[in-house]
Each structure stands twice: as C-alpha cells, then as structure tokens.
Amino acid sequence: MTKKLFAEAICKFALGVVLVGVLVFLPAGTLNFLQGWLLVGILFVPMFFAGVVMMAKNPALLKSRLDAKEKQGAQQTVVKLSGLMFLAGFVVAGLNFRFGWHILPLWVSAVGCVLFLLGYVMLAFVFKQNTFLARTIKVEKNQTVVDSGLYGVVRHPMYSATLILFLTMPIILGSLYALIAFFAYPFIIAARIKNEEKLLENELDGYKEYKQKVKYRLIPFIW
C-alpha cells in the first residue's frame, strides 16, 4: 500500500460520488429524492469497503481497477457510449422525479436494491477468482486462463455482474424511462466482449481452448 495509491483511490471515489450526485439530484431539482439517496448509498458504501479490502489485501488489483484509460480505439468508443448511457439514464431519472412522469413504488426500488447487492456479491466472487481484472483490456504478465467457479459458467462473469448492477440502477431510481437508456448496456458490453476476446485469443495462452470448454459469454444458455 502506498500513499500515492491511497490518495488516487480516495480522489476518484470522491469524484464519483460528486458526479453521480450532480447527475441525479440536479435534474431532480431537489435533494429530497429518496430513491436518489438509495442509489448513492447502495452504490458507494459497498464500493468504499471493497476498496479498503483491495487496498489491504491486493493493492495491485486496486491499482489496475483505477486505471480506466483505454488504448484501443474500439474500446475508447465503448467507454464513451457507456458514459453517454449513464449521463442520459441519470438525468432522465432526475427529470422523471421532478416532473412526476411515472415514478415506480418504493417497494420496487427496494427490490432493485436487493438485486443490485446480489450483483455486488457476484462481482466480489469474480474478483476473488481472478486477480487479473483490469478495467482496461490488456493481458498482464504471467496471466493465466481461469476456467473454474463462475468462469466455468460464462466466460465473462464480471460483465454478467455489471449487467445486473447497471440494469437495476434505474429501478432503484424509480424510473422506467431511465431503464430505456440503460437497455443500451447489453449491446455496448457485447461489442466490448467481442473485441476483448480477439485480443485474448491472440495473446493469452489457452484461451482458444477455454472458449471451446465454456460456450456462453455473458448469460448462460442465451449468449
């Protein structure tokens, strides 16, 4: 653990809280937006504790997760599209609350919170099983193919977990209109996966054989 890594993690965490807060509460026109606070809490409280655990037990993984600068043009496009999706989804959710277009009942948001936490638990298992999970697409030195646990079910369980996380965010915010924006995510992540697998086939020993063993990329029996 280094002071520089700690400072970088704290700064990016704080920036994330502020950014999400602005995108959700500013369009809502008020801080009295319970579903907005639910999202902020359920998103960032577990993230904080996960960061503390990684800082203590696996700072190399934390460092790789903080590096979000993609070098490949195709992946830069994916990152930009994801950013637009979040921008549109959060702003629409805030506007939905401000103008009362169609606000889902609080119990539906509570169900969304439960599903979101299940996605976080799944993500934690993925991080435990694979310590080479950088945010950018690359092959690390001494990286090996992981083919057990969740990786024995789908080839990209981390993305499966994010699918749960991102599609439940608008539900937590109580907005079906925002959910429409977030439905872009499966298509965005599919493009990322196809590009990523090309790199892994070329640079990671045993990945072609792994693809033959585990047929599904993201969702069992579907794709």
Q: What is the pLDDT of residues 154-172, one digit of tens each?
A: 999 999 999 999 999 999 9
Q: Are 173 and 35 in contact (CB under 8 A)?
A: yes
* 3-state secondary structure (DSSP) of residue 103: strand
**Cα torsion angle, 213, 126, 164, 14, sign:** negative
204 DSSP assignment: S
Q: Can you give the pTM of this predicted structure?
A: 0.86
User: How far is it, in rounded angstroms, from Cα 186 to Cα 6?
Assistant: 33
The type of residue at 177 is: Y
Q: 52 to each of 8, 58, 65, how far by Cα in Å?
A: 13, 10, 13
* Rounded alpha-carbon distances, angstroms, from residue 217 to 21, 122, 145: 33, 16, 14
Residue 74 one-letter amino acid: A
Topology of 3-213 in CATH? Four Helix Bundle (Hemerythrin (Met), subunit A) (1.20.120)
Is 124's pLDDT higher than 90?
Answer: no
The larger pLDDT score, comparing residue 170 to residue 80, is at 170
- In terms of pLDDT, which residue wins out, 98 or 5? 98
Q: What is the pLDDT of residues 28-56, one digit of tens each?
A: 999 999 999 999 999 999 888 887 777 77
Angle, CA of 20, 25 and 30, to the nearest 5°:
160
Ranking 32-46, 84-98, 184-198 by mean pLDDT, the lowest is 184-198
